[in-house]
Amino acid sequence: MAVVAAINLDGIVVGLTLKLGSITSTEFMEHLDRLAIHMQPGPAYLFLDNLPVHHTKAVGRKAMEHGIQLVFNATYSCEYNAIEGLWAHAKHSFAKNLLLMDDLGNTRKIQSLIEQSIMEVPARYLRGRISRSLRFMRTYLKSNDN
């Protein structure tokens, strides 16, 4: 199951796409279209890992169309990416709830459980991860200014 999610600075999940198989650049652009609905006026930044689909020219054009600046995380630097907190918390919840499932072959139930596990991550927890990630980035930028 491929999962794409976005959180805002308040720790709220504002975009979620689940799909069997891999996410294509077209599907990621559709995710950007849905995400744009939640954006406020002014500059918007989307912090991404280095999944190849994120780097396509079409995705770059779609982001520009919505006024989204794509920011790519440095390789092996997940501590800077606040969304990793969402994944860690959701995976733990998913694994715990999966033990209670009686029909592990039911893809719809699994997909529903994944979505539930993601949507139940507390915003307070994600705000803490966002704050920590921003502190890491500020420290990194200051140390590289010298």
Q: What's the pLDDT tens digit per position in 49-99?
A: 888 999 999 999 999 999 999 988 877 777 778 888 999 999 999 999 888
Q: Mean pLDDT of all residues in the chain? A: 88
Domain ranges (residues) in the chain: 2-145
Q: Decide yes or no: CATH 3.30.420.10 for domain 2-145.
A: yes
pTM exceeds 0.85:
no
pLDDT band at 41 (very low <50, low <70, confident <90, very high): confident
Q: Which residues of 108-126 are buried (b: 16+ CB within 10 A; e: fewer)?
A: eebeebbbebbeebeeeeb
pLDDT band at 146 (very low <50, low <70, confident <90, very high): low
Tokens at 61, concatenated:
């054009």
